[in-house]
Amino acid sequence: MPMKIFWSFLETLQTVIIAVATVFVVRVFVAQPFLVSGSSMEPSFSNGNYLLIDEVSYRVREPKRGEVIVFRYPGDHRSFYIKRIIGLPGERVVIQNGSVAVYQVGGDEKLLNESYIAKQNFSGEISMTLKDSQYFVMGDNRDFSFDSRAWGPLERSDITGLVRFRLWPVEEVMAFGVPAY
């Protein structure tokens, strides 16, 4: 009987070790949870939304315009922010009269039709050219977002991952893709 208890204990211990190791690997290398704090991404994401961040995609491909990302704030790497990618490396971003235009490599202008923001008459004028590993990010709630307009471009190395799912609140659970421009 004592030997049976011992083998049962070892089997339980093995199951627990495998489960903990699996959770650790997934949490560190594949996906991680993120809690939205603040209103800078409304109406897309609200304070208290619980999201799942994909940490694998950007290891095999580059970020795309319109994707919502989580990143380390350039001014304090202990803080994480959530914003939408507006400008890609090598592009020039011009903000004027409440609209955003992106001049792609080669000079073609792309005026962004941003259906995901509540209003498009935010203030401020900016013209910024991005370097090879830089991105221009903005919150969807433009009047209440602390973003690249205030602190400049985001370095590729600061990007943590891509927002894939909203898990909370339950009535708003959904997956996210890239908006069409």
- Per-residue pLDDT tens for 106-143? 767 677 777 777 766 667 788 889 999 999 999 988 88
Give the chain's count of helices (H) and strands (E): 3, 12
pLDDT single digits (tens) 77-111 = 888 899 999 999 999 998 887 778 888 777 676 77
For residue 71, the model assigns a pLDDT of 92
44, 83, 145, 148: the active-site residue:
83
CATH 2.10.109.10 fits 34-175, yes or no: yes
Calpha distance 4→72 (Å, rounded): 51
Report pLDDT for 170. 76
Is residue 5's pLDDT more than 60? yes
Q: Tell me how crowded residue 89 is: count the other CB atoms within 10 A of its CB.
A: 16
H or E element in which residue 72 lies: strand 68-72
Q: Note the pLDDT of residue 134.
A: 96
Domain ranges of the chain: 34-175
Residue 166 region by backbone torsions, left for phi larger than 0, else alpha for psi between -120 and 50, else beta: beta
The pLDDT value given to residue 1? 63
Length of the chain measured in residues: 181
pLDDT for 117 equals: 78
The helix (H) or strand (E) run that includes residue 158 is none
HEC letters along 74-140? CCCCCCEEEEEEEECCCCEEEEECCEEEEECCCCCEEECCCCCCCCCCCCCCEEEECCCCEEEEECC
Residue of 40, 44, 145, 148 marked active site: 40
What local confidence, expressed as pLDDT, does residue 131 receive?
93
Residues 6+ apart with CB under 8 A from 24: none
Tell me if residue 131 is catalytic: no
Write out pLDDT tens, residues 149-169: 989 999 999 999 999 878 878
Q: In this predicted structure, what is the pLDDT of residue 180?
A: 64
> What does the pLDDT look like over 15-71, one tens digit per residue?
777 777 666 665 555 557 777 888 888 888 888 898 888 888 888 899 999 899 999
Distance of CA 57 to the CA centre of its chain: 12
